[in-house]
Structure formats: C-alpha cells, structure tokens
Amino acid sequence: PPNLTIDEFIPECKPFAEPYSCPLCEGILYESVIDKCGHSFCLECSENLLKQSQKCPFSNLALMPPLPMNIVVNTVLEKQIVFCRNKKLGCEWQGKLGDRKNHLNHECLKEVINCEYVPDCETRDLREKIIEHVKVCPFRLVQCEYCDETMTFQNLEYHNKICPNIPVDCSNKCGLKVPLNKLKYHLEEECDNTVVECPFNLVGCEFYDIRLKLKAHLDKDLERHLRMITNKIHNLEKGLVDANLRIDDLSNENNSLKKNIQILNEQIINNSTNINNSLNI
C-alpha cells in the first residue's frame, strides 16, 4: 500500500499534490527519488524495485543505487497541508507534510510505537497507552533509595533482600531500624538490648545485663568501682613488691650457683693436672 494518498491532503492542497503520483504504488510520491531516465518513485518503492531488478521498469535502463532525491518534487509536496495519518483513530493534527514525520515520531498519541524499554519489553501499542505503560513497565529503570544503584523494576524486590544499606529491624528488638551492613556494629556497640559486661569487670565487677541498664549501673556504683580499682592497684603493687623480692632471691641464688660452678671448675682442673703428673712419672 502507498505511504501517502491523495485523501491525506486537505481539500485546498489536493490539486497541488495530485499530479505527483508514484507509478509503482499509485499513491502520492513520498520521499521521492528520481532515476537517470527522469522517472520519479517513492523512496521505499525504489528500494523494493532494486531488490527485484536494477532496471527502470519503463526504459529498461540500468539503475545504480542509491537513487538521488527528487528535491523539486519533495519541496513542492512537503509544503502542502496534510492530516495526520492516524486521523481515523482520532488524531486531529494537521500541518505541512514535511512536519508530519516529526509529529508521528514524537507527538501523535494515536501512533503505534514500541515501549521505550525494548528489546527487554515487547509491548507495542498506541503512544497514549505506552505513556501509561512505561510508568508500570517491569523493565523500567529505577534507583534504589538506599544505595542509589540502578536496576529494572522487576529486579528491585530481589535487590531489597541483599541491599547493604536497606534498613532492617534490630534483631534484639530494640525498636530501631539500622542499615543491614551496620547491624553487627549496632548489636555489638550501640543496641540498648544487647547483654554486656561492665567495663570494670577487669577489677572484679560482676554486672552482666542489657546495655540500657549499664549507664544506671555505672552511675550508681561509681564509688564501688573506684574502691575496686584501688584494691586492684594495691594488690598489683603488693604483687610487684613480692616479685621484686623473689627476683632478688633468685639473683642471690644465681650468684651462689656461679661461685659453686667456678669452684668445681677449679677442682676439675687441679685434679686433671695431678693425674697427668702421676702418669708422667
């Protein structure tokens, strides 16, 4: 079927367009090209013709693709006023033929187009329906609100299960939501419901309860903790004195052993000398 018919022109422009018909499709020349014989064809008609035969159907002369555009004819026709080719579907646009392609490609709500997420999405429908479709298309691109990673909507549910920044409920049920990748730190260092030891456990405090109660414990038992630290220091000092005494004892014992070893070495030397003298007699 022809890409352009006389009925697509407004009545006032039909007389200007009617003389320019394509001999192949019998419609009005659309994006006209011209062969070296002077015959004009629609661009698409010429491409179909060249697939079958590279000869002019009227003069039988060879055709060398690509055929040049027929600028004169195209200039005349592109100035004529036409209806939208989707007029029967309800589009009321009319304008110059030269502007219609832009209208169909970007504006006409009655034009059938592909979803913009092709080839993943195979939906094809009127532009007015595609406009609504892309808002809910499972292949539309969305951004994770927690980590800013971009993905298709259909993958968002899975991503939310592994997103390192997605807020999750504290497993200790403290009432807070924390990023998944910070949950371990929260439990160990922040969570009020985590069971912890008193920081003074090294000096003997036996407190072992949730972190929420730790502050009150520290405030309440401050004086006791100070006594425990004092006692710990006292015991350490006493142990240090005992250790120094023990070191002194070991040092004296070591000196005594050295003297005994020296004496034994001297005795061994003397005995060895006496034995040698006896053997030489």
Q: What is the pLDDT of residues 136-149, one digit of tens each?
A: 999 999 999 999 89
- pLDDT for the residue numbered 243: 85
- pLDDT for the residue numbered 269: 86
- Please state, in angstroms and rounded to a whole number, the distance separating the CA atoms of residues 67 and 160: 56
Quick one: CA torsion of 117, 118, 119, 124, rounded to 10 degrees? 130
- pLDDT for the residue numbered 281: 60
Strand partners, 69: 33
- Please state, in angstroms and rounded to a whole number, the distance separating the CA atoms of residues 202 and 215: 18
Q: Is the pTM of this model over 0.75?
A: no
- pLDDT for the residue numbered 268: 87
Write down the mean pLDDT value for the chain. Answer: 92
pLDDT score of 82 more than 70: yes
**Which alpha helices (H) appear in the chain, and where do they start and end?**
14-17, 43-52, 71-78, 97-106, 127-136, 153-162, 183-185, 211-220, 222-280
Span 140-166, average pLDDT: 92
pLDDT score of 280 more than 80: no
Strand partners, 151: 142
